[in-house]
């Protein structure tokens, strides 16, 4: 069971809702993923005018919890305003806080991120910050009131998978009691299994499912991979070794004359 801000969840897959070929395909992907949380960008959808209102109706009909995000924001003022608008639209204090600092990599601006997180938590929000694997930034976000951290494993939409496994492993060890959700850069089910094998609590992804030839089938594949990775971590994974180790004991083996 995964607990986020006092809410118990069975699924450890959080699914984005952008870039799907059609609302029907999005709905089927959500169903087959068994996710209980979907993320929605208020800025992106409201830019669509009347279509944005129809999109929000579809999201409500999915029967899952909505995690609004501040995608596209580049300043504290933008992010805080967007979060407050999302709270009004979706009637939730949850917000995925994105504050982009680098246009090419979409790396978060961690300085503004901490400031915005503090403002929002003081205003009653329960913040899910999109951050890097930097331990110092993580400490500052926790001090600002965050109770969840969402480190990237690669740039958003890059599909490169984990680029800094030692850094992610260090983050897991440093924040052993904090829910950690890997967000951004996951491209394949094997990537999701890898980060779950490191002991992370969940995975948030969008492009890898939405842009697949069969999004619904890919959503199900990711759900299975996350379960497999978590199962391996809990069972106790065999660590790599520098030398071969025989699986069959030598002592007591039969000798044939």
- Residue stretches of the annotated binding site for 1-deoxy-D-xylulose 5-phosphate: 157, 184-185, 206-207
Strands 13-16 and 37-41: parallel
Quote the CA–CA distance of 134 and 136 in Å, as a whole number: 6
Annotated binding-site residues read: 157, 184-185, 206-207
- Judge whether 77 counts as a catalytic residue: no
- The DSSP secondary structure of 34-94, one letter per residue, reads T-SEEEEEHHHHHTTTHHHHHHHHHHHHTTSEEEEE-TT--SHHHHHHHHHHHHHHH--SE
Torsion angle of C-alpha atoms 172, 174, 176, 179, degrees rounded to 10: -60
Quote the CA–CA distance of 193 and 190 in Å, as a whole number: 5
Strand partners, 150: 130
Helix or strand or coil: residue 48?
Answer: coil
- The closest alpha carbon to 166, from 190, 128, 133, belongs to 133
| Tokens coding 57 | 């109706």
Quote the CA–CA distance of 175 and 180 in Å, as a whole number: 8
Q: Which secondary structure element, helix H or strand E, spans residue 139, and what is its range? A: helix 135-143
| Tokens coding 148 | 């969840």
Q: Which secondary structure element, helix H or strand E, spans residue 168, and what is its range? A: helix 165-174
| Annotated active-site residue in 50, 84, 96, 147 | 96
Residues annotated as catalytic are: 96
């Amino acid at each position: 069971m995964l607990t986020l801000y006092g809410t118990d969840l069975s699924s450890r897959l959080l699914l984005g809702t952008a870039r799907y070929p059609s609302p029907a395909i999005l709905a089927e992907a959500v169903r087959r993923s068994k996710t209980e949380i979907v993320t929605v960008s208020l800025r992106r959808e409201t830019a669509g005018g009347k279509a944005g209102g129809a999109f929000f109706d579809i999201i409500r009909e999915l029967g899952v919890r909505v995690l609004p995000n501040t995608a596209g924001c580049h300043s504290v003022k933008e992010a805080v305003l967007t979060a407050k608008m999302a709270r009004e639209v979706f009637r939730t204090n949850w917000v995925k806080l994105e504050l982009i600092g680098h246009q090419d990599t979409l790396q978060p601006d961690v300085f503004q991120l901490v400031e915005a997180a503090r403002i929002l938590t003081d205003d009653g929000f329960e913040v899910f910050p999109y951050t890097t694997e930097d331990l110092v930034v993580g400490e500052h976000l926790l001090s600002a009131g965050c109770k969840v951290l969402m480190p990237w494993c690669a740039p958003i939409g890059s599909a490169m998978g984990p680029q800094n496994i030692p850094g992610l492993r260090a983050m897991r060890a440093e924040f052993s009691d904090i829910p950690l959700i890997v967000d951004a850069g996951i491209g394949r089910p094997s990537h999701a299994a890898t980060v779950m094998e490191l002991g992370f609590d969940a995975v948030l992804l969008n492009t890898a499912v939405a842009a697949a030839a069969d999004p619904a089938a890919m959503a199900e594949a990711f759900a299975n991979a996350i379960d497999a990775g978590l199962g391996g971590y809990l069972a106790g994974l065999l660590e790599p070794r520098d030398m071969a180790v025989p699986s069959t004991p030598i002592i007591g083996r039969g000798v044939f004359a």
